Amino acid sequence: MARQLLPVNAPVTFLLLVFLLAPAAVLQGNNILFWMLAILVAAVVMSVLGSRWMIRGLTVRRQLPSHGMVGESLVVEYAVTRRRRSLPCFGLFIDEDATEGDGLDSERARGWVLHVGSGETVHAQAIVVPARRGRLDFEHFWIRTTFPFGMIRRRRRFSQPQHLLVYPRVHALRSRVLESLAPQGPDGLRTLDKKGQGDDYFGIRQLRTGDSIRDIAWKLSAHRDDLVGIERSSPSPPRIRIVLDLSTPTDELQVQADEPTTARELEERAISLAASLATAATSRELEVALTVLGSREPSLPFRGGTWHVHRIMTMLASIDLDEERPAAPVRPLSDLEHAGLIVIRPDRVRPLGSRQDAWYLTARQMNDLVGESDGPSPSNGRSREDAA
């Protein structure tokens, strides 16, 4: 068994030495003992004055990133400036004033600065791991020090209200999941009625400098005695509409009393599943649209790219499950929309009735969809669980 050293507590050690040396110095009148006692008293005075000087004359500003994600490290930076020109400071700790329910680990959300010179600015970093989705508020933080001997602790409170959005957790889906859910046939690759870099014919135009020889329409050029080029159409990637059905209130979800997961956890899983599908589809260059039933937020149109993923994540992060949920419309989607349709429910499948070729997923299927290895593909039209 490995030996473990006992932690050293500076105040306790100091008091122990004082109780040992003070009676001996007074009773015996030994000069060495008096000198040792004087050194201890001088250390206390230096600790009181030193910690006071270290904490004064400081300006601290918090710098937050644009967003965070559940379960992933979030780096919070602090800019510490020493305004005084005469004395540097050492051994500074920065702690967030975390309240219950903020999802912050106060032990890990701590910055540390070894040395700040006179008139200098030093940056410190703290690691925060958000535990819940939504808005994360930062109000107050403390800067403290026990320099020079660790006996006297002084701290100072700074107020800087800030907030950021914490995106839902994104899981790595199995490789066959998105291949099964991606639209095929008429909902797959197609062309748009505009010019682009596709392969289909769109029209003709005057040949321009830099055009490829393969774009020359030779027959038309021979009739016109002038070189004309072929204008290509613009391709459009496959499109997927994700419908997150949260129209059923939390207390009305079909959850058994002995089930290990609660109704609120199933709703959070459904939101996380929608975020995972949107991220995976966008990474494969598919256009994604998002509709949230039970929310007053408007649907997001079909787009692709990183910026659209941030819009989707922002919409999912802003969902408040405690608000009153409006009833879902009878026909929320168009029957003629040329796109694949994925409907996600927290508890049980509830067909929308607008599309017969829709995929239905539930939050209980999260473990089957997430993983490194390939697994069975989701079923078409119905979930693995019986439709309620």
CA 138 centroid distance within chain:
15
In this structure, the answer to whether residues 80 and 98 fall within a common structural domain is yes
In this structure, the answer to whether residues 364 and 255 fall within a common structural domain is yes
In this prediction, residue 1 carries a pLDDT of: 43
pLDDT, tens digit, 9 for 90 and up, residues 1-17? 455 555 556 677 777 77
pLDDT band at 377 (very low <50, low <70, confident <90, very high): very low
In this structure, the answer to whether residues 71 and 128 fall within a common structural domain is yes
In this prediction, residue 61 carries a pLDDT of: 95
In this prediction, residue 191 carries a pLDDT of: 39
The tokens for 241 are: 């509409």
The tokens for 180 are: 């099964």
In this structure, the answer to whether residues 353 and 282 fall within a common structural domain is yes
CA 297, 385, 258 angle in degrees (round to 5)?
Answer: 90
In sequence order, the 6+-apart residues with CB closer than 8 A to the CB of 44 are 14, 151, 152
Report the pLDDT averaged over residues 99-126. 78
In this structure, the answer to whether residues 348 and 306 fall within a common structural domain is yes
The tokens for 284 are: 């494969």
CATH of the domain at 335: 3.40.50
Range of the domain at 220: 191-236
In this structure, the answer to whether residues 160 and 228 fall within a common structural domain is no
In this structure, the answer to whether residues 300 and 205 fall within a common structural domain is no
- Measured CA to CA, the distance from residue 114 to residue 208 in angstroms comes to 64
Whether residue 37 lies inside any domain: the answer is: no
In this prediction, residue 384 carries a pLDDT of: 39
**Is the pLDDT score of 363 beyond 70?**
yes
**Is the pLDDT score of 254 beyond 70?**
yes
Whether residue 33 lies inside any domain: the answer is: no
In this prediction, residue 59 carries a pLDDT of: 92
Report the pLDDT averaged over residues 112-122. 91
Lowest mean pLDDT among 7-11, 73-77, 320-324: 7-11
**Is the pLDDT score of 273 beyond 70?**
yes
Whether residue 4 lies inside any domain: the answer is: no
**Is the pLDDT score of 383 beyond 70?**
no
- Measured CA to CA, the distance from residue 352 to residue 331 in angstroms comes to 8
Whether residue 202 lies inside any domain: the answer is: yes
Contact between 139 and 161 (Cβ < 8 Å): yes
Number of domains in the chain: 3
Whether residue 14 lies inside any domain: the answer is: no
Whether residue 226 lies inside any domain: the answer is: yes
Whether residue 44 lies inside any domain: the answer is: no
In this structure, the answer to whether residues 79 and 95 fall within a common structural domain is yes
Strands 287-293 and 239-245: parallel
pLDDT, tens digit, 9 for 90 and up, residues 162-214? 999 999 999 988 877 777 776 655 444 443 444 445 455 556 677 777 667 67
Among 264, 243, 51, CA closest to 149: 51
Sign of the CA dihedral 95, 100, 104, 107? positive
What angle do helix axes 31-55 and 10-28 make, rounded to 10 degrees? 150
CB atoms within 10 A of CB 352: 18
29 vs 138, higher pLDDT: 138
pLDDT band at 277 (very low <50, low <70, confident <90, very high): very high
In this structure, the answer to whether residues 232 and 280 fall within a common structural domain is no
Give the DSSP H/E element, type plus range, for residue 41: helix 31-55
In this structure, the answer to whether residues 130 and 182 fall within a common structural domain is no
Whether residue 11 lies inside any domain: the answer is: no
Q: What is the dihedral of CA 12, 14, 19, 20, to 10 degrees?
A: 110
